[in-house]
Structure 1
Amino acid sequence: MSALTVGEALVAELRRREVACVFGIPGVHTIELYRGLAASGIRHVTPRHEQGAGFMADGYARVSGKPGVAFVITGPGLTNTLTPMAQARSDSVPLLVVSGVNPTASLGKGMGHLHELPDQLKLAKTVALLSEQVSDADQLDPVVDRAFQRLTTERPGPVHIEVPLDVAAHPYVAAPIALSHTECQAGTDLISDAASRLAEAGRVVIVAGGGAKRAEGALQALAEALDAPVVQTVNARGLMHDHPLTVPASPSLPAVRNLIEDADCVLALGTELGPTDFDMYATGQMAEMHGLIRVDRCRDQLARHTAKVAIHGDVELVVPVLAASLPKTAKKGEGEMRAKLARTAALDEIGPDYREIVDILNAIRDAVPNALVIGDSTQPIYAGNLYYDHDRAGGWFNAATGYGALGYGIPAAVGAAIAAPSTPVVCIVGDGGAQFSLPEIMAAVDENLPVIFVIWNNSGYGEIATSMTDVGVTVIGCNPTPPDFAATAKSFGIPYFEARAEPQVVARKLRDAVAVKGPSMIEITAAKLAPTKD
């Protein structure tokens, strides 16, 4: 039996670490990776662009909780994937990008090789949490091990491995090394201190971020014990759906800021307290958080905001211990009333146009319960990010916060559907954003994925046009002509439905689309942009 090549061995290492799916476009610079892929049992999904590969891997990771993996070629393959890597870094998504690179002897020489970059590894390091080269066969195991250490401990994000063309074809001679994992261990003294402060406080507010999305049961028990309203950032939506203590509204809204500032103790769980969640209107200020207690798996994050108590650890591990450290008698107070007042005021603050859109989002949720709703930067997503109560923890996510990359929604929905094949997936994108990644729908066709692609068609970049108008700038560049989406769906070979922007109509079309059992498209005709004014 012939020895494995380094490329084959890398695939085997991924399989050993329970990688089940890889997103990638084969190329001459990744052939040695594909040599081992067919026999590995790892599923391969082919996007239409490397950016799509990265976003698919991102969506897969968010839903599965495991690292998403993308294979890309040297040069343009890697540069096309930098945008998904930046989004993953912003949203703490474990993303592994494996790329080729030119032969070792050519690197940095500027000889004009195919796909050559001056320094590909250095370029990747500007975005990746870790970027390493497999410089020789005996370096494969240490590099892969360090990559997975970084993906699975501390705060996750994008990691990059590059394999030179000559090294990829070398015989693999290194012996496997044992995997090692470190856990974030929270100090018992810190937890006791936090529990005492929470028990003594009269008005606790919990702010839940994306790091709390897998701790729903423990979070609800803690909130009930503390009689504490729970404010959810965008990546935490779906937690404690329809619970009287839930506040599914942006902490940028004045009503929610007031709720937070009125608290005498704020418990922030798995949130970086970033401005796209906490100061999206760019006022330069965030709500003052009295008696702040933070729990986060990233030490660097904990150091960026002064807190009374900073606990380094995973929210899903710390919260049950914290709850168990509280007095057995639950607090009885006005938590539910405080939450209700904040919800009512926040919904009023988003305005009538967004309230109408939230009604449509509610109709989508009720028509397709327990769905994954993945979005792009478009009006329904902006509205929902301000106020929307989803019914599935981790089931609402998009790229309209953090790095804010357009083109995310369609490929991320493909990755999500592969990670959760028995769960309905609804992808909400605008007509403008859809054109960034529309061909990726064909990956859903290839894989026969039951994704409902909802196109919000207002014939342009509606939110940008509104922002320009609000500050007295003449609207220009916001009216790109959308394609004929009915004809596009036909060319893709998928069912097409058209709906007015009315809750009952959209819900009916959603139920029709669910019955398809494969990919489909719904075009919602929204109010068109005003003509550009000279």
Structure 2
Amino acid sequence: MITCGENLTRLLKAYGIDTAFGIPGVHTVDLYRGFDTSGMTHITPRHEQGAAFMAHGYAMASGKPAACYLISGPGILNALTAMGQAYSDSIPMLVVASNNQRAELGTGGGFLHETKNQTAAVEQVTAFTHQLLDPVNLDQTVARCFSVFNAARPRPVCIEIPRDVLNEPGKSETPVWPAPSRAAPAQAAVAEAAARLAKAENPIIILGGGAWEASEEATALAERLGAPVVCTCAGKGIVAEDHPLALGCALPFEPVQDRIKSADVVLTLGSEMSETDQLYTYTRFEIGGDLIRVDIDPEQLARSYQPAQAIVADAKLTLAAILAELPETSPDMGKAHSEAEALRRLIDPLWQPIAADHKPLLDIIRDLLPRDGILVTESTKPGYTSKHYYPCYEPRTLIYPNGYGTLGAALPTAIGAKIGAPERDIICLAGDGGFLFSIEELAAAAEQKLPLPIIVWNNQAFGEIRDSMVAWGLPRVGVDLQAPDYCKVAEGFGCYSARPGSLSEVRIAISQALTADGPTLIEIDANQDWVRG
């Protein structure tokens, strides 16, 4: 007999999921029946939040979803923060969570791991959550998950299975439903957008994370129009930031905001156009001309900025259709390149003074990583600078917790990214405050023997909040931290460690860590004179 739990693992493997992150528990043991012969890999984090962050990084680096196997109650609830980050960032993740037996649900009987309404809690951070009450519905439920991943705005989905259902007989076959096609733009909409762009004298393109698969088409359209390209943090690298028309992630800076306001047509693809991409200066850009918005999510087209034209469609298909409709033109590329270069020069003096402390480290990381190498960072002072300063040449090569801004994301996300793309060089950059949220995942990194440099920017504080308190004349409460000896902690987990005393030693430490036979923690004391720019 094949149980429902065993059948689920077989079905996920048939859909192409080859990795599950999870901590086995008494309510999920039936998920592991037959797992050893399924062809799937199991990675054990040391906290369920780490499991979901690892799945997040895995999907970002590999381009395909992973699974999380989580116990009921505290297990799934521990993971909600990381699932919320993936929901905010539009990252696919398939979460399988157990629950109490069907007869126990909603009774308030005090059963192990009982939650008043677990499904309702999980629904807040998923595209959908389905409580599977009969194994006969499993194949359709999994098909729904992959419909979201393949054709809608990709976000976490959750299949919640009562533990008695996990052990019930499942189907002997594992049918895979065909993947739905992505939404193509209506021809009339394409013609209208192409006409607007063809007549535009001063267009500009804004790229968000929803356009990450459209690098070739976005670059071709920018060159066809002679239009500068600015991106959100999630859109970094869709047009390589060493392209002459690329302005990088520069939405917060006044020269770029002036250019957007003066544009007669602004084409935006796959972006929420939210405040989190403008927080470096806390100024919101304005749009003076016609806004064309393209998004796979129809609700997004009725938020933030009102468009002159709204297109519900896949970004890659839309750009390809617009390119086919646009007449061949010969814009003055010398003039277009000069304009973009002038804008980049105007941005240079506008960095916050503290950025001088971060730029040398980010320059070293950029120099050591190949074009497809990935920097994983989080809400920490050099992380904030990296969003706008660190150049990306391919999409998804800077992973940062954008909208949700989760502390503790960097280390487990970097672990997941390295597992998802073992052939690529990956560097983790965390602040000491955030690093302590997930320091236990050093054990998982060591267990997997990952050649992963883990840079801890140690200012003995929640530095950004500390500085804000000082600037606003508030008392420093709860922001100064007693730090452990990070190198000794790392060594206790079986990792290598380094505490460089100069930028040249930082370079050596990172370079060696990229080829080591296990993870290396590199602690940078941000209060040392050699760090300060």
TM-score (norm. length: structure 2): 0.94
> Could you tell me which residue of structure 1 aligns to residue 193 of structure 2?
194
Partner of 1:308: 308
Contact 1:97 1:158 in 2 (8 A): yes
Kept in 1: contact 2:2–2:172 (CA 8 A): no
**Cα pair distance change 1:68/1:289, threshold 3 Å:** farther
Equivalents in 1 of 2:280, 2:515: separation in Å?
Answer: 38
Task: Provide the residue aligned with 1:256 in structure 2.
Answer: 256
Measure the CA separation in 2 of the matches of 1:482 and 1:330: 59
Tell me the residue number matched to 1:64: 62
Question: How many corresponding residue pairs?
Answer: 524
**C-alpha offsets along residues 221-275 of structure 1, whole Å, 9 cap, x if unaligned?**
1111111111111112223131111112331222221121121111111111111
Is 2:433 aligned against 1:432? Answer: yes
1:156 to 142, 151, 154: 154
The reply to whether residue 393 of structure 1 matches residue 402 of structure 2 is: no
Cα distance between partner residues in 2 of 1:494 and 1:391: 30
* 1:389 CA displacement: 1.2
Aligned partner of 1:255: which letter? Answer: P
1:254-403 matches, cutoff 5 A: 254-278=254-278, 281-283=281-283, 285-288=284-287, 290-304=289-303, 305-332=305-332, 334-370=335-371, 371-399=373-401, 401-403=402-404
Aligned partners of 1:108, 1:409: CA distance in 2, in Å? 37
Please give the alpha-carbon distance, in whole angstroms, between the structure 2 residues aligned to 1:289 and 1:359. Answer: 37
With over 3 angstroms needed to count, the CA separation of the structure-2 counterparts of 1:505 and 1:219, relative to structure 1, is farther
C-alpha distance in 2 between matches for 1:477 and 1:528: 23
Equivalent residue, structure 2, for 1:532: none
Structure 1 unaligned regions, length at least 5? 530-534
Question: 1:344 and 1:500, CA in 2 relative to 1: closer, same or farther beyond 3 A?
Answer: farther
8 Å Cα contact 1:501-1:526 kept in structure 2 = no
Deviation at 1:301, TM superposition (A): 1.0
Distance 1:500 1:213, change over 3 A: farther
The CA distance in 2 between the partners of 1:526 and 1:238, in whole Å, is: 28
Which structure 2 residues correspond to residues 90-169 of structure 1 after superposition, within 5 A?
90-169=88-167
* Structure 1 letter corresponding to 2:272: E
- Mean Cα displacement is larger for which, 150-159 or 41-50? 150-159
Separation in 2, partners of 1:241, 1:125: 37
Structure 1 residues 410 and 289, CA, compared in 2 at 3 Å: closer, same or farther? farther
Aligned to 2:413: 412
How many Å separate the matches in 2 of 1:488 and 1:80?
24
Equivalent AA in structure 2 for residue 39 of structure 1: T
Q: Which moved more, 1:358-367 or 1:51-60?
A: 358-367
Specify whether residues 37 and 347 from structure 1 end up closer, same or farther in structure 2 by C-alpha distance, changes over 3 A only: farther
Distance 1:501 1:133 in 2: 55
* Counterpart-to-counterpart distance in 1, 2:452 and 2:321: 38
Which aligned segments of 4 or more residues in structure 1 are displaced greater than 4 angstroms?
Answer: 174-178, 279-283
Q: Structure 2: how far apart are the matches of 1:33 and 1:493?
A: 30
* Unaligned 5+ runs, structure 2: none
The one-letter amino acid of 2:312's match is H
Please say which of residues 33-42 and 17-26 is displaced more in the overlay: 33-42
Q: Cα deviations across residues 470-502 of structure 1 (Å, max 9, x unaligned)?
A: 222111111111210110121122221222474
Task: Find the residue that maps to 1:410 and give its secondary structure.
Answer: helix
Over residues 426-470 of structure 1, what are the superposed CA-to-partner deviations in whole Å (9 max), with x where a residue is unaligned? 000011110000111221111111211011111111111111122
Q: Aligned partners of 1:48, 1:501: CA distance in 2, in Å?
A: 33
Contact 2:7 2:174 (8 Å CA) reproduced: no
SS in 2 for 1:436: coil
- Cα RMSD after superposing both structures: 1.8
Identical positions, percent: 38
* Equivalent position SS for 1:373: strand
* Paired amino acid for 2:338: M
Partner amino acid for 1:352? P
- Given the superposition, is the C-alpha separation of residues 227 and 407 from structure 1 closer, same or farther in structure 2, using an over 3 Å criterion? same
CA distance in 2, matches of 1:354, 1:426: 20
The alpha carbon displacement at 1:517 in A equals 4.1
Identify which range, 309-318 or 198-207, moves more after superposition: 309-318
Q: Is the 8 A contact 1:249 1:346 kept in 2?
A: no
SS across alignment from 1:235: coil
What secondary structure, in the 3-state scheme, does the structure 2 residue paired with 1:198 have? helix
Q: Does the C-alpha gap of structure 1 residues 500 and 318 become closer, same or farther in structure 2, counting only changes over 3 Å?
A: farther
- Aligned residues of 2:11 and 2:175 also touching (Cα < 8 A): no
Cα distance in structure 2, aligned partners of 1:282 and 1:329: 38
CA distance in 2, matches of 1:97, 1:23: 9
Distance (Å, rounded) in 2 between the aligned partners of 1:317 and 1:292: 19
2:44 corresponds to: 46
Distance in 1 (CA, whole Å) between partners of 2:216 and 2:501 is 38
Specify the SS of the correspondent of 2:437.
helix
Q: CA deviation at 1:143?
A: 1.6
Displacement of 1:79 in angstroms is: 0.4
Other structure's SS at 1:292 match: strand
Alignment-mate amino acid for residue 451 of structure 1: L
How big is the shift at 1:282? 4.7
Q: Which moved more, 1:41-50 or 1:323-332?
A: 323-332
Q: Report the secondary structure of 2:310's partner residue.
A: strand
1:71 and 1:48 map into 2 onto residues whose CA distance is 13
The residue that corresponds to 1:84 in the other structure is: 82
